C-alpha cells in the first residue's frame, strides 16, 4: 500500500499508524502525529480504493452504507500490510496505535472489530460502526478515544453511542470526547486525543 514511514526518536513509544479521511492522502494526518506523540515513529497509509478519484480505505454503496464484502477484504489487506511494514521497518508489530479520521477511523475500527491484537489502541476521529452483527474479539483494557461532534451529520451522536457501547461490551476502555461541531476535526479534539494518549500509554 502507498505509505510514508518516519522513524521516531523514541523506540519505546507506540508507532502511530495514520488513516486519512475520504479524498485525503497519507500526508494529511502527519501534523496530528507530532501533536499526539512527537517521539513516535509514524506509518501513514493511503487507502487502496478510489471513489471518483478520491482515495478511501474501502468501498461504499452510498453515504454511510458500506460495502461489507469490500470492508472485510480491505481490512485483511491492511492487517497484512501492517505485518509486512513491521518486518520491513523493524518496528514492534504489537506496539501500534491507530489515529484515523472519518473513513480512516472506520477502517481502524474495522481492524479492532476483526483482528485481536492488530492495534494496541486507537484514536478514532468521527467514526461510524464499521459493521453490525459480527462478534467482536476480546478487547479487554484496550484504550480507544472517540472524537465526535454533537452536530455531525455523517456520524450521528446515536451511532457514536452505539460504537462506544459495542467496544465497551468487548472490554475496551473507551473515552468519548464531544465537540459541539459537525464532522470536522478541530484542534481542541486533537488536543483531547493527545491528553488521552498521555494517560493511556
Ligand atoms: C465512510 O464512508 O467511511 C464515512 O461515510 C465517512 C466518509 O465520508 O468517508
ipTM (interface pTM): 0.95
Which H or E element spans position 159? helix 157-169
pLDDT score, position 32: 96
Query: Please, what is the Cα angle at 26 between 29 and 97, to 5 degrees?
Result: 60
pLDDT score, position 181: 96
What is the mean pLDDT of the segment spanning 128-135? Answer: 96
Contact criterion met (CB below 8 Å) for 102 and 22: yes
pLDDT score, position 137: 98
Kindly give the distance from the C-alpha atom of residue 102 to the centroid of ligand 1, in angstroms, as a whole number: 6
All three cell numbers of 20, joined, read 486519512
The whole-angstrom separation of Cα 140 and Cα 138 is 6
- DSSP count for the chain of H helices, then E strands: 5, 11
The whole-angstrom separation of Cα 136 and Cα 87 is 27
Model pTM?
0.97
pLDDT score, position 132: 97
Indicate the pLDDT class of residue 147, thresholds 50, 70 and 90: very high
Q: Is 38 in the pocket of ligand 1 (CB under 6 A)?
A: no
In this structure, which residue's CA is closest to atom 1 in ligand 1? 103
Query: Please, what is the Cα angle at 187 between 107 and 158, to 5 degrees?
Result: 50
Q: What is the pLDDT of residues 23-65, one digit of tens each?
A: 999 999 999 999 999 999 999 999 999 999 999 999 999 999 9
Indicate the pLDDT class of residue 71, thresholds 50, 70 and 90: very high
> Is 114 a known active-site residue?
no
> Is 126 a known active-site residue?
no
In this structure, which residue's CA is closest to atom 9 in ligand 1? 103
The domain in which residue 161 lies consists of: 3-200
Phi, psi of 176 (to 5 degrees): -105, 125
| CATH code of the domain covering residue 72 | 3.40.50.1820
Determine how many CB atoms are found less than 10 A away from the CB of residue 80.
12
Split into its structural domains, the chain has a count of: 1
Amino acid at each position: 500500500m502507498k505509505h510514508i514511514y518516519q522513524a521516531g526518536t523514541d523506540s519505546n513509544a507506540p508507532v502511530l499508524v495514520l488513516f486519512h479521511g475520504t479524498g485525503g492522502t497519507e500526508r494529511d494526518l502527519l501534523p496530528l502525529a507530532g501533536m499526539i506523540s512527537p517521539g513516535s515513529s509514524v506509518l501513514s497509509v493511503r487507502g487502496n480504493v478510489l471513489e471518483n478519484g478520491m482515495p478511501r480505505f474501502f468501498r461504499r454503496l452510498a453515504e454511510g452504507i458500506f460495502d461489507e464484502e469490500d470492508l472485510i477484504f480491505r481490512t485483511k489487506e491492511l492487517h497484512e500490510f501492517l505485518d509486512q511494514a513491521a518486518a520491513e521497518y523493524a518496528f514492534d508489530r504489537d506496539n501500534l496505535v491507530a489515529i484515523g479520521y472519518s473513513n480512516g477511523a472506520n477502517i481502524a475500527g474495522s481492524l479492532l472489530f476483526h483482528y485481536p491484537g492488530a492495534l494496541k489502541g486507537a484514536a478514532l476521529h468521527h467514526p461510524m460502526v464499521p459493521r453490525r452483527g459480527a462478534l467482536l474479539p476480546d478487547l479487554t483494557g484496550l484504550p480507544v478515544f472517540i472524537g465526535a461532534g454533537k452536530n455531525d451529520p455523517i456520524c450521528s451522536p446515536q451511532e457514536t453511542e452505539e460504537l462506544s457501547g459495542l467496544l465497551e461490551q468487548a472490554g475496551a476502555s473507551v473515552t468519548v470526547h464531544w465537540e459541539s461541531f459537525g464532522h470536522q476535526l478541530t484542534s481542541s479534539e486533537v488536543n483531547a486525543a493527545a491528553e488521552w494518549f498521555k494517560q493511556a500509554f
